[in-house]
């Protein structure tokens, strides 16, 4: 089972990753540091009436805003930075701010492969030029696939805040229920490590990413 990321994302991956988990004593519903490596930090906190925890990943990258948004929504490179991704496909772009995306996740035996359909809605703050990409599950957008479990409960966002010297602070925050039979403790552990790996890959690969899309020319730097 893996956690998909998206944006593209990012939500799922394998259990067999090498960064140790960090445990902390905390008060109810505070963020807990779960994993950390090379300026990438992953936190979790409880979600009301749900054993599946909310996940937050943070890091800083060197990139332009258009470059980073193009990277996150480039369906052709999703498998290069999201572990165990089965690929991403853009279904529709109703306007320049919205994108429907279908993600596939290849699970490890004995768990079944999964998929999800999400609506990404992009907005930019005119004052500080930060960009927010809201993630909303739209499971009925396309027909169910016989060989996969459709993830229906999923929400989150990317927050991209420009800093000095072409630096952008990234926050990726999400909560999902993977559906089917998957123990919550296992799904949570996978989510911590998959988020850490995805953001680490993003941080490395964005430096040499040049496929900036004209679709995002409206974004102000």
Specify which residues 85 forms β-bridges with: 105
Does 194 map to a domain? yes
User: Is the pLDDT confidence value at 11 over 70?
Assistant: no
User: Is the pLDDT confidence value at 154 over 50?
Assistant: yes
215: phi then psi, degrees, rounded to nearest 5: -60, -30
**pLDDT for res 127:** 96
Does 8 map to a domain? yes
Does 181 map to a domain? yes
The CATH number of the domain where 58 resides is what?
3.30.530.20
Does 64 map to a domain? yes
Does 120 map to a domain? yes
- Is the backbone peptide bond immediately before 159 cis, with ω within 30 degrees of 0? no
Mean pLDDT of the chain: 86
Q: Which residues constitute the domain of residue 27?
A: 4-216
User: Is the pLDDT confidence value at 12 over 50?
Assistant: no
Count up the domains in the chain and report the number: 1
d(CA 195, CA 54): 12
Does 221 map to a domain? no
The pTM of the full predicted model, rounded to 2 decimals, is 0.84
List pLDDT tens digits, range 65-102: 999 999 999 999 999 999 889 999 999 999 999 999 99
């Amino acid at each position: 089972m893996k956690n998909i990321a998206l944006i593209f994302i990012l939500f799922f991956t394998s259990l067999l990753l090498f960064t140790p988990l960090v445990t902390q004593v905390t008060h109810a519903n505070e963020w807990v540091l779960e994993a950390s490596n090379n300026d990438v930090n992953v936190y979790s906190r409880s979600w009301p009436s749900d054993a599946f925890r909310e996940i937050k990943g943070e890091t800083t990258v060197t990139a332009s805003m258009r470059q980073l948004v193009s990277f996150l929504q480039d369906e052709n490179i999703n498998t290069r930075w999201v572990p165990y991704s089965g690929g991403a496909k853009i279904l529709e772009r109703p306007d320049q701010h919205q994108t429907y995306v279908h993600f596939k996740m290849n699970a490890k035996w004995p768990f079944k492969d999964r998929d999800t359909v999400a609506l990404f809605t992009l907005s930019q703050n005119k004052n500080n030029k930060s960009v927010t990409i809201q993630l909303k599950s739209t499971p009925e957008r396309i027909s169910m696939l016989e060989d996969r479990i459709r993830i229906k409960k999923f929400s989150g966002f990317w927050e991209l805040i420009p800093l000095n010297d072409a630096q952008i602070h990234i926050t990726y925050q999400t909560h999902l229920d993977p559906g089917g039979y998957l123990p919550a403790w296992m799904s949570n552990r996978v989510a911590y490590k998959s988020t850490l790996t995805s953001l680490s890959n993003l941080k490395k690969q964005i430096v040499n990413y040049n496929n900036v899309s004209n679709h995002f020319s409206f974004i102000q730097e």
